[in-house]
Amino acid sequence: MNGIQILLICGVAIISLYYILRLRNAFIDLLLLLVFSGLAVFFILSPELSNKLANKLGVGRGADLLFYICILFFLFITLKLFSHIRRLEKTITDLVRQQAKEEAKSLYQDAKEKKN
């Protein structure tokens, strides 16, 4: 197994674990953003190091390594957005249920008052 395969499998495992646990900690999100941004600036300023790192991991070019890392990053973002949409759907459902109960209760009370 090449180094890149281990790296990508670990990345997928970490992203999956993050999604399963649904950590909603803004600090962790900020930390991940800073790490990815820092790595991007580092590899932009020294592209020859990305080639060396890629060769050590079993990838032909540094650009390919960065492409693989971007795939993991976009998978992470997609799962975060999916999780956020699910949370919003749950919130909307709860609000609609609560409003329906309140409306039903007020209609029942109005009907009861008219009867008396």
pLDDT digits (tens, 9 = 90+) for 37-89: 787 778 878 888 888 988 998 988 888 888 888 898 888 888 888 888 999 99
Tokens of 24: 């909603």
Handedness of CA 11, 16, 17, 18 (dihedral sign): positive
What range does the domain containing 88 cover? 3-115
Domain count, the chain: 1
Distance between CA 90 and CA 17 in Å, rounded?
Answer: 22
CB within 8 A of 56, min separation 6: which ones?
A: 3
pTM of the model: 0.60
